[in-house]
Every structure is written in C-alpha cells, then in structure tokens.
Amino acid sequence: MTRSFGPVQALGGLDITVPYGQVTALVGPNGAGKTTLLLILATLLKPDSGTVRIAGHDALMYPARARDALGWMPDTFGVYDQLTVDEYLAFFADAYELPKDEAPRRIRALLSLVHLEDKLGQPVHALSRGQKQRLGLARALVHRPRVLLLDEPASGLDPRSRIELRDLLRSLAADGVAVLVSSHILSELEEIADRVVLVDRGRTAGDHAMADLAGAAARARWRVRSLDPDGLAAALAAALDGRTGLEPAADLPGTVEVGPLTEAEAAGLLAELVARKVPVCGLAPAGSALESAYLAMTESRR
C-alpha cells in the first residue's frame, strides 16, 4: 500500500495482515506512517495504490461493508459535548442500526465494560480526558466489530485504566476479534500483543511473534554490575574484545551495558567474568525484548 501527502511519502509499500483472535501491535517512530495506515484501514483515507481487505470485504470498493465489520478508536476524537454519555452511545448505536429495543441494554453493558456506568446521564464535556478515551472505546465496540483498530488507546489513561484496557483487548482477542493497536509504550505492548509489526518510514521493518522476541534466540542488551567496577570494565573489555557494544549505564554507577547478546552468550560472558575473579553481583536484560528490537530498527536513524 502507498500513500503520499504532496511531496511526503507517508506509506511506501507497507504490507500488513492482522489475524483474528490476536492482538497485533503497530510500532514505529514518530512520522513512520502508523496513523496514515490506520486511517486507510478505517476507510477514512484512500491509499494511492494497493488493496485493503477488512473481514473479507474489499474496503476500497465497499467501504460501508468494511465499516460494519470494524471498530475504530482514533488517537484524538471529537465528542459531541452537548450530549450525555448515553445519548452519545445511543447516537452511534443508531448509526450502526442496532435494533431500538437492544440499544439501551447494549449501552449499559458497554458503559459497565469501560467502567463509566456512574456517568450515565452526565454530559460528555464533564468527562476527564481518560474517561473520554474510555467512552471512545465503548463507541468503537457498539456494533460488536470483528476487527478493532486503535490508535494510541492508552494515552491519557491512568495506570488502572491501562491495565483494564489491556485485559479488555486480550479478552476481545480471545473472543476471536482481530485487534490492531498502535502505541509507543513498548513495555505495555509486550503484555498485550501476540505479534508486533515494526513500521519505519512508511514500510514494514519487521514482523515478529512476541514469543520469539522474548525467546532464547532473541538478542538483548544486558546490564552487568560488580562490586569492583574497575575490574569489571577491564575484564569485559578483554572478554568481549570489541565483538559487541559496551558502555557504562548512565543511570547506575558501577554498572555496564553490553550487547546485544543472546541468553546463551550472556551466560558464557558471566562464566568468563567469574573465571577472571570479577565479583559480579548482577546480570539482567536491560529493558524489554521489544525495546531491543525497536532500538535495533531505529539505530540507523540516529
């Protein structure tokens, strides 16, 4: 799929499949093209070239059919301030042609799902930013979509709401929904997502199962800490002999970051440090596996 805005090529041959029953994460630097892709998938923007299939429908030929099947939660969205919370959802229930006798029950269930049941009857403008986000999620789910697209859904949410969002997305996926979520909060995605698609400069830069990223073959940076920082630095320089990166951890004196290394390589390094009589008191991966994959992808941009 391609899409340009004047001279700026936002998408330059991006290809993505989002399976049912899984949460797929879309990760990439600012301006990588994530929102452009989501807008195209949500049928709100046309690509210059390429095809889009949503729940089996050709979304470019039959956008209305695609919209019936998809739920869309944008990163920022206008709410109709004059409406109450339930009128707001009733408006969308009506737009999606939910049977009139079903709508009130559905709205109550949705408000309970996003923990806004106590806001029933209250004006939308009185909601906090995070509460508006949650209302936006309820709106996206009104018609029980089989495909759910979310652009930065966790921004503005407090820690409890984030955990609840994570659980909700996981349970939707368990019910068979295809969930595509873009986010910059890598540590959170690791717990939410089954797969991660890395996007860079409008192209797919990687597609990984989360389990593979965190597996034994994955390479990560490691933090090594010793009671003898000088001895550690000398022993590491000798043991690694320039084969991989080595730099002091800025935030923790006496700690050195090395890598990327696999688990087996890290174990080998530890054995070597111990053999050199370095009093190692800590060896652990620095950051998450997803963070490492992301940093490796963006390394060339620095």
Ligand X SMILES: Nc1ncnc2c1ncn2[C@@H]1O[C@H](COP(=O)(O)OP(=O)(O)OP(=O)(O)O)[C@@H](O)[C@H]1O
Scanning 4-12, 161-169, 229-237, 246-254 for contacts with ligand X by CB under 6 A, the matching segment is: 4-12
Task: At 80, list the tokens.
Answer: 């109709």
Contact of 168 with 174, CB cutoff 8 Å: no
Cis, bond preceding 248 (omega within 30 deg of 0): no
Does 121 engage in binding with ligand X (CB under 6 A)? no
Q: Out of 12, 19, 31, 245, which residue is the one contacting ligand X (CB under 6 A)?
A: 31
Min. distance of Cβ 170 from ligand X in angstroms? 23
Scanning 28-36, 159-167, 190-198, 210-218 for contacts with ligand X by CB under 6 A, the matching segment is: 28-36
Does 5 engage in binding with ligand X (CB under 6 A)? yes
Count residues contacting ligand X (CB under 6 A)? Answer: 11
36 CB-near residues (< 8 Å, 6+ apart): 3, 10, 11, 45, 202
DSSP single-letter state for residue 84 = B
Identify which of residues 8 and 267 has a Cβ nearer to ligand X in the complex: 8
Cα 24 to chain center, whole Å? Answer: 7
Does 153 engage in binding with ligand X (CB under 6 A)? no
Does 8 engage in binding with ligand X (CB under 6 A)? yes
Task: At 125, list the tokens.
Answer: 């403008």
Contact of 179 with 25, CB cutoff 8 Å: no
Does 290 engage in binding with ligand X (CB under 6 A)? no
Q: Out of 2, 35, 84, 155, which residue is the one contacting ligand X (CB under 6 A)?
A: 35
Cα(162)–Cα(125) distance, integer angstroms: 22
Identify which of residues 8 and 252 has a Cβ nearer to ligand X in the complex: 8
Min. distance of Cβ 199 from ligand X in angstroms? 7
| Residue corresponding to tokens 């049928």 | 43
Scanning 27-35, 126-134, 203-211, 221-229 for contacts with ligand X by CB under 6 A, the matching segment is: 27-35
Does 30 engage in binding with ligand X (CB under 6 A)? yes
Cα(45)–Cα(98) distance, integer angstroms: 26
Q: Out of 32, 111, 165, 192, which residue is the one contacting ligand X (CB under 6 A)?
A: 32
Identify which of residues 4 and 84 has a Cβ nearer to ligand X in the complex: 4
Does 150 engage in binding with ligand X (CB under 6 A)? no
71 CB-near residues (< 8 Å, 6+ apart): 140, 141, 142, 143, 145, 147, 148, 149
Q: Out of 33, 153, 259, 285, which residue is the one contacting ligand X (CB under 6 A)?
A: 33
Does 247 engage in binding with ligand X (CB under 6 A)? no
Identify which of residues 86 and 151 has a Cβ nearer to ligand X in the complex: 151
217: region left, alpha or beta (phi > 0 left; psi from -120 to 50 alpha): alpha
Pairing of strands 2-5, 57-58: unpaired
Query: Which residues are registered as beta bridge partners of 219?
Result: none
Task: At 237, list the tokens.
Answer: 């320089």
Does 101 engage in binding with ligand X (CB under 6 A)? no
Q: Out of 22, 28, 153, 258, which residue is the one contacting ligand X (CB under 6 A)?
A: 28
Which residues contact ligand X by CB under 6 A? 5, 8, 10, 28, 30-36
